[in-house]
Amino acid sequence: MESSKSSQFSPTAAGGPPFLELRGIHKRFAGVHALRGVSTSIEAGQIYHLMGENGCGKSTLIKIISGAQPADEGSILIGGKEVTALSPIGALSAGIETVYQDLSLLPNLSVAENISLTQQLVESGGKLARRIDRARLISTAVKALEAVNLPADPRFWSLAIEELPIATRQLVAIARAIATDAKLVIMDEPTSALTKREIDNLISVVGRLRANGVAVLFVTHKLDESKSIGGQFIIMRDGQKVMEGDIKDHSKSELSYWMTGRQLDVARYRRAERGADNLLTVNGLSRSQAFSNVSFSLAHGEILGVTGLLDSGRNELARALAGITPADGGTLMINGEAVALRRPIDAINAGIGYVPEDRLSEGLFLEKPIRTNIVVEILDRIKNRWGAIDETRSRNLSKDIAADLQIVAANLDNPVQSLSGGNQQRVLIGRGLMIKPKLFVLHGPTVGVDVGSKDTIFRIIQKLAADGMGVIIVSDDLPELLQNCDRIMVMSKGTIAKVFDAEHVDEDTLYHALVTDEPSRTLS
């Protein structure tokens, strides 16, 4: 069957109109003017970086381009022809494929089905036939998997998506975009769950797309990655396009200024001295097939970074410290007292706060009010004498946290999903602080947040440490660790491989330690 793409839209001819052009796009939501006359164009075979703080209008813009939402005013042109009432199927038929931050994969379907069903859906005008062409489905999936350097054998493509780690799901979502013969691939925070090695793989995939005439639009906050990839940038602020150009011609500080409207500090945030030792002592901590014989200590007011590749055990260690997936060997002491972390409530009772890696699937109750999300871990502590939640106390506590953490919300009774990514992350941090922790474990504390929100979160972390709280940051964002930590612990194959003084190590040395096998040693 011939794809419907070719019958509706033709590729941009050399010297012809851009593949996609937006003219004066406006969008309003309940009185909020989300987009204010945005105009820009996307040329075939070019790379673009759509930048701006959370809430600036980036997500709304890509939803309009992908047909998920209509514009209130303005025009969309594809191949020089104006398009009216662009639907998701219409966008896909035009060759526009979007990899959203939540990936939009079907967890109970296989890798092959997730990759190939979109193509068959487009070709049938949005209606799947009762009988799926399995042979073609598998053939399409195999080619797409090979293109993103994922295994193309039956053992892999027959796996259900829910069995895969987040990083692999990200690459499967990109493979799905490639399978549709896209002309424009939009990637919303595509590297948020990837290690540097996987990011390098993604960059090579993008290079092949570009060589084949496909345009790529990254929605991103990571300036270092954008600078290394190259291409054009489009910066938005307060619903407007404020600047665009070639990214190689401008510094990171210039880009940050245009995104936020203020100068941001790019030096080390860490200034305070660590306090007394022995807040946390871990000895021989192990979990079968995850990590083994992990030993380290943490002082009051110290910030320890933990990093490593996806199979290093770093994520499992974070969850063990939170009592989510408990260790099956070793000991852990808080202020000299042994604690057993078999459940999350054990960690809470021991004074360990935790911010999970994925705020959408592991952290937030998206449809519940902001204030409920903040106080949910202390509901048993704010009951009145009749056993009901003290609403006045709940409101006051959440209001205080929102003020302390600069959570921008029109009303704390609004659902938490109404907030930008940066504000959602601060809600999670606020929730962890409600238990007044001695130790705070932050698992990917700035994943998917903009540079302005990162700055705010970093300053919050530094203040917590300055007040004597011990902090562990588990992250693959090496600049984040270098800017905020006292020491950085590199894990490899479930053990501690290297330990660095964060103030006296550079990013290249740290990355080399991540990708080379070294004998383990303990952190004391």
Tell me whether the CATH fold assigned to 5-260 matches the one assigned to 280-515: yes
Measuring CA to CA, how many Å separate 485 from each of 306, 422, 462, 475? 10, 21, 9, 11
CA angle 363, 481, 203 (to 5 degrees): 80
In CATH, what number does 280-515 get? 3.40.50.300
Domain ranges of the chain: 5-260, 280-515
Q: What percent of the chain has pLDDT over 70?
A: 90
Q: Identify which of 55, 147, 77, 68 has the alpha carbon closest to the alpha carbon of residue 100.
A: 68
What would the mean pLDDT of 423-446 be, rounded to a whole number?
Answer: 90
In this predicted structure, the answer to whether residue 253 has a pLDDT above a threshold of 60 is: yes
Check residue 341 and give its pLDDT: 94
| Helices 252-260 and 451-466: angle between axes, nearest 10 degrees | 90
pTM of the complete model beyond 0.85? no
Predicted local distance difference test score (pLDDT) of residue 221 = 75
Amino acid 14: pLDDT: 52
Q: Bridge partners of 305? A: 473, 488
pLDDT band at 110 (very low <50, low <70, confident <90, very high): very high
Task: Among 161-170, 312-321, 343-352, name the one with the lowest average pLDDT.
Answer: 161-170
User: In terms of CATH, what superfamily is 5-260?
Assistant: P-loop containing nucleotide triphosphate hydrolases (3.40.50.300)
For position 306, what pLDDT does the model report? 95
Tell me the per-residue pLDDT of 142-154, one tens digit each, with 9 for 90 and over. 988 988 888 989 9
- In percent, the amount of the chain with pLDDT more than 90 equals 40
Does residue 30 have a pLDDT over 80?
Answer: no
Q: Which tens digits make up the pLDDT trace of 323-366?
A: 999 999 999 999 999 999 999 999 999 999 999 887 777 878 88
Cα end-to-end distance, the chain, whole Å = 64
Which position has the higher pLDDT, 180 or 414? Answer: 414
The string of pLDDT tens digits covering residues 514-523 is 766 544 333 4
Query: Pairing mode, if any, of strands 352-355 and 439-443?
Result: parallel
Q: At 128, is the pLDDT very low, low, confident or very high (cuts 50, 70, 90)? A: low
User: For residue 167, is it left (φ>0), alpha (ψ between -120 and 50) or beta?
Assistant: alpha
Average pLDDT over residues 52-74: 88
CB count within 10 Å of CB 134 equals: 11
Lowest-confidence region among 235-239, 434-438, 442-446, 450-454: 450-454
Give me the pLDDT at residue 359, please.
79
What's the half-sphere exposure (Cβ side, CA atoms, 13 Å) at 39? 5
